[in-house]
Amino acid sequence: MSKNGRENAGTTTPAFNPTLPFFSVTGKTAVITGGARGLGLAMSKAIPKVTAHYADVSAKSDVDSAIAEILGQHSQITNLVTCAGFCENCDAIDFQPERVKRMLGVNVEGTYYFATGVAKHMMECQISGNMVFIGSISGSIVNVPQPQALYNASKAAVRHLAASLAVEWANKDIRVNCLSPGYMLTEIAMDAQILVDNPGLKAEWESKIPQGKMGAPEELMGTVAFLSSDASRYITGQEIKVDGGYTVC
């Protein structure tokens, strides 16, 4: 004790535990669906080493074969990012049954098949797993003026599927979160017929975004890396919106 009755501070320097290593994805094996183009291609750039595998995500047999092929090459899967999906702008009363089946097959069933297939492997091998489903702000708001009711519904399903599986698999040490982008500058989005037919629509969208611009796909990489890393290990069942502030207005 010091003369003034206060205990002197110890002379031992506490161990410094840097934060940055928690954000690393080194040593992880991630499956990224839809990685050939658009947002999926941008996501794949957040992973140090990439190999390509083909699968129709809406066909369970294709998904199972792709997972087996990946495991044969990489031995284990620690992370899943589901980017495969598409949007069509069409009045609901004109949407053809085969397109309904295709959209729900890719956007919802594809997410479900890959998630459950990868989760089965994680459980069998007792791997601490991590999944990020790519949703959309369209899963929680109604976009104006473009008609896309079925797409919005499919992304709402993806968002709630993430929350439901997060709870179901929490005791298996598998985390599931949803990343929901806003308006993004992908080639697919910019080539959409609705923008061809409405040249001023992009400016209208951007006028409603507080940051005043559409996002670049690369601006999602940091959030994907964060959710895929140990830095977010106490986050599960959540939706993170990356939209330039669009949905808070």
Q: What gap in Å lies between CA 143 and CA 87, rounded to an integer?
A: 12
What is the Cα 227 distance to its own chain's centre? 9
Q: Which amino acid is at 50?
A: V
Q: What angle do CA 127, 130, 131 make, to 5 degrees?
A: 135
Q: Is 87 exposed, middle or buried (0-12, 13-18, 19+ CB in 10 A)?
A: buried
The closest of 137, 192, 187, 190 to 37, measured between CA atoms, is: 187
Q: Distance between CA 180 and CA 190 in Å, rounded?
A: 18
Sheet holding 239-242, edge to edge: 30-33, 79-82, 129-134, 174-181, 239-242
The amino acid present at 6, given as its one-letter code, is: R
- Please name the amino acid found at residue 200: G
Q: Closest Cα to residue 31, out of 4, 51, 58?
A: 51
Q: Within 10 Å of residue 112's Cβ, how many Cβ atoms?
A: 18
Token code pair at residue 34 = 């839809």
Closest by CA to 215, choosing from 246, 183, 240, is 183
The catalytic residues are 136, 151, 155
